[in-house]
């Protein structure tokens, strides 16, 4: 498909030209970092061609020194990431809630940079780890930079930032042997989770399909915390932010995730990059859940508790804008690696709440950027620079890239005419919301934070049958990797408080029984201070039977845009059937890839050569969303000789994907597991292309899952 024309805009400095920057290398010869032209970068300066290298070789020293120092510390968490540029546009003004220009001016096109990431793994870990995904958006607004730093899950593991180092230490590779990488299936993590019951809500999300998304473009994003919106009357409303993907919320199976990590460890990164390059720009709607301040204590959960979501059945999400990503970074390190997100970056019209996790993040993020980027001047790095002018009295510091002018660097002053002057609120100056505070200093936690089971139970009740099966399988796999029996027993006891049938299934898979009690009361296990004794986790409440928005079974199933279709071909494949099918698929944005017994080219029945996208030996079915066989007697005969072709089809069937065949292509299916299941709703034999298209749009035929279990792995 031809790349779409990229819209050029002039609303801001960050959106001047969205086309790939090209360097004129012919007229720009190589230079040193000082601009000196270089005529040899292959050989060091020596005393004769076989002599010692000379100390005076400044070209060698510069090149090697830069190489030796070109790495910076990777992020402690969210080290593995992918990024893209784009824009946000408001579609509905919410002036009644916020005075922020980004929420009141529908004519603006605000540039953004988005970074997606995994949490636990190192920078070199694979994309398809079972993990929470980071979803961080930097808005370059006309009032300053706003960073909405969230995840693809609406809650977090812990309630107080004090526990964050413990959480991350538990899930990272165990310190004695640095094993396992990018995995939570080990003793230290479950030792922590089983003793820290506030983690159970985020944990069950991590055991669901949400933790293994099909694409970064097919996952939701959440601001996690409850923030404030402040209007021009200085009235406050509580708000939660949601990103809803245009393509719906879809995932892979765990079996696929394991195989994708081996077949293409960069699967998500490549998918995002290729989609943007092809002009299939990822798009999300921005939605908000707004709660008036008078309703702060209306619900059975605390709005300031980051382990709780607001069910959409109780407070619907109001769509107010859209975000489109339309340009890949020009340089991964300079942009994706050096971008610095801080939850403390806000603009007038947005403010914080007393969420104790959010309060800790306001400190931690700036601290970690100082460590990674080496200077308080990290805001001067191009990817971090605001589009507004920066005027203040801050000077010097490591790697100062500006040249501040003037005699003074203090306030107040007369030598610089009092400049820079302070802005009044009516001129756009930021002022904090005047929240009344009257409390004693205390190390403790509100009793309203002590319900740790109701929302995990609500989440599980809201899932479809196939999603529930995947959750049970995930718990079984993860706990099956633990070696300590007492840890598994504690987890089974806790899962039983969420759902008895879930606990029973997991216990049977582990060859254990659900314990009726655990040896140590929770308060003794995690520290017997008075506050813990007083506020024990409450038994689950049922204040809502289901919230349909929590299930991926209720996502969008109306598009096949960017779906990867493997077309199995060999010399002599039926061009008429191929053209009829693929023209329909490509017209709706699907990506058709030819998979053949060999690389190079294949010749169709019309004697035309077609370039092969992948030889069967170099690819796997898990990299595709559907399989099509166009037929052709000669082609099918050649395909039948390839054992991996049959494995390819069987595996696609096992993973409940759509499969289609025309003409003699049915004969190839007859040699596979599909032969006995031609009446399957997502197996299309000699059907109209629309039927295959509709089957692909459904993502999977989960009704097939019981049969699929019989297919060999």
Length of the chain: 713
CA 650, 651, 654, 657 dihedral sign is: negative
- Helical segments of 632-704, H only: 633-640, 643-654, 665-669, 689-697
DSSP 416-453: TTTPSPPPPGGGT--------------S---GGG---S
176 is catalytic: no
Report d(CA 402, CA 405) in Å as an integer.
9
Cα angle, residue 155 at apex, residues 151 and 156 outer, rounded to 5°? 80
Q: How far apart are CA 257 and CA 620, in angstroms?
A: 12
Out of 5, 21, 66, 78, pick the active-site residue: 78
The residues that bridge with 351 in the sheet, in sequence order, are 228
Structure tokens at 15: 């959106």
Task: Specify whether 345 is catalytic.
Answer: no
Active-site hit among 151, 326, 384, 650: 151
What is the distance between the alpha carbons of residues 660 and 556, in angstroms, rounded to a whole number?
Answer: 22
If you search the block for the tokens 């040193």, which residue do you land on?
Answer: 32
CA distance 636 to 226: 58
Torsion, CA 695, CA 566, CA 638, CA 604, rounded to 10 = 100
Distance CA 601, CA 595 (A): 10
Q: Nearest-5° angle of CA 610, CA 616, CA 619?
A: 105
Contact 135, 114 (CB under 8 A): yes
How many whole angstroms separate alpha carbon 110 and alpha carbon 146? 11
Cα→Cα distances 621→248, 493, 586, 685, Å: 22, 39, 19, 19
Question: What are the residue numbers of the active site?
Answer: 78, 151
């Amino acid at each position: 498909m031809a790349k779409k024309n990229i819209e050029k805009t002039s609303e801001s400095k960050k959106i001047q030209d969205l086309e790939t920057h090209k360097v004129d290398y012919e007229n720009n010869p190589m230079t040193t970092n000082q601009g000196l032209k270089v005529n040899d970068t292959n050989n060091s300066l020596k005393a004769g061609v076989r002599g010692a290298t000379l100390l005076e070789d400044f070209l060698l020293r510069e090149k090697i020194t830069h190489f030796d120092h070109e790495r910076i510390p990777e992020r402690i968490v969210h080290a593995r990431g992918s990024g893209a540029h784009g824009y946000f546009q408001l579609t509905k003004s919410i002036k009644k809630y916020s005075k922020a220009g980004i929420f009141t001016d529908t004519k603006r096109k605000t540039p953004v940079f988005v970074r997606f990431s995994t949490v636990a793994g190192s920078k070199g870990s694979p994309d398809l780890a079972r993990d929470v995904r980071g979803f961080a958006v930097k808005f370059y607004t006309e009032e300053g930079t706003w960073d909405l730093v969230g995840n693809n899950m609406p809650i977090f593991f812990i309630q107080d930032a004090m526990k964050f180092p413990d959480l991350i230490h538990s899930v990272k590779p165990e310190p004695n042997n640095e094993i396992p990488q990018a995995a939570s299936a080990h003793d230290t993590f479950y030792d922590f989770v089983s003793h820290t019951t506030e983690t159970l809500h985020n944990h069950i999300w991590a055991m669901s399909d949400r933790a293994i998304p099909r694409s970064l473009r097919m996952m939701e994003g959440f601001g996690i915390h409850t923030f404030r919106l402040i209007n021009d009357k200085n009235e406050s409303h509580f708000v939660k932010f949601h990103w809803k993907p245009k393509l719906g919320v879809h995932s892979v199976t765990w079996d696929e995730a394991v195989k994708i990590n081996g077949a293409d460890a960069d699967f998500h990164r490549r998918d995002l990059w290729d989609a943007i390059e092809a002009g299939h720009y990822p798009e999300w709607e921005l939605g908000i859940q707004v709660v008036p301040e008078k309703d702060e204590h209306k619900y059975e959960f605390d709005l300031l508790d980051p382990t709780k979501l607001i069910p959409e059945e109780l407070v619907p999400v109001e769509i107010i804008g859209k975000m489109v990503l339309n340009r890949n970074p020009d340089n991964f390190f300079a942009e994706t690696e050096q971008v610095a997100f801080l939850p403390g970056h806000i603009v007038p019209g947005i403010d914080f709440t007393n969420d104790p996790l959010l309060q800790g993040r306001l400190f931690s993020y700036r601290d970690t950027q100082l460590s990674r980027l080496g200077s308080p001047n990290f805001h001067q790095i191009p990817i971090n620079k605001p589009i507004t002018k920066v005027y203040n009295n801050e000077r010097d510091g490591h790697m100062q890239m500006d040249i501040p002018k003037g005699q003074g660097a203090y306030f107040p002053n007369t030598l610089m005419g009092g400049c820079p002057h302070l802005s009044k609120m009516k001129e756009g100056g930021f002022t904090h919301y005047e929240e009344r505070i009257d409390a004693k200093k205390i190390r403790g936690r509100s009793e309203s934070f002590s319900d740790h089971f109701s929302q995990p139970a609500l989440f599980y009740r809201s899932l479809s049958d196939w999603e529930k099966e995947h959750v049970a399988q995930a718990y079984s796999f993860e706990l099956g990797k633990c070696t300590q029996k007492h840890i598994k027993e504690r987890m089974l006891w806790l899962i039983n408080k969420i759902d008895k049938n879930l606990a029973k299934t997991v216990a049977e898979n582990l060859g254990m029984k659900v314990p009726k009690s655990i040896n140590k009361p929770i308060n003794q296990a995690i520290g017997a201070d008075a506050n813990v004794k007083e506020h024990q986790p409450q038994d689950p409440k049922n204040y809502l039977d289901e919230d349909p928005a929590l299930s991926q079974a209720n996502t969008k199933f109306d598009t096949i845009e960017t779906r990867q279709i493997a077309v199995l071909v060999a010399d002599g494949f039926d061009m008429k059937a191929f053209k009829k099918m693929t023209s329909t698929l490509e017209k709706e944005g699907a990506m058709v890839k030819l998979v053949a017994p060999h690389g190079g080219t294949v010749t169709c029945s019309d004697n035309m050569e077609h370039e092969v996208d992948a030889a069967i030996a170099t690819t796997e079915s898990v990299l595709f969303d559907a399989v099509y066989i166009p037929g052709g007697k000669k082609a099918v005969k050649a395909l039948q000789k390839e054992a991996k072709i049959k494995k390819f089809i069987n595996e696609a069937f096992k993973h409940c994907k759509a499969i289609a065949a025309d003409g003699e292509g049915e004969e190839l299916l007859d040699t596979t597991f599909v032969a006995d299941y031609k009446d399957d709703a997502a197996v299309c034999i000699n059907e109209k292309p629309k039927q295959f298209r509709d089957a692909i749009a459904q993502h999977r035929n989960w009704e097939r899952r019981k049969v699929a279990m019989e297919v060999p792995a």
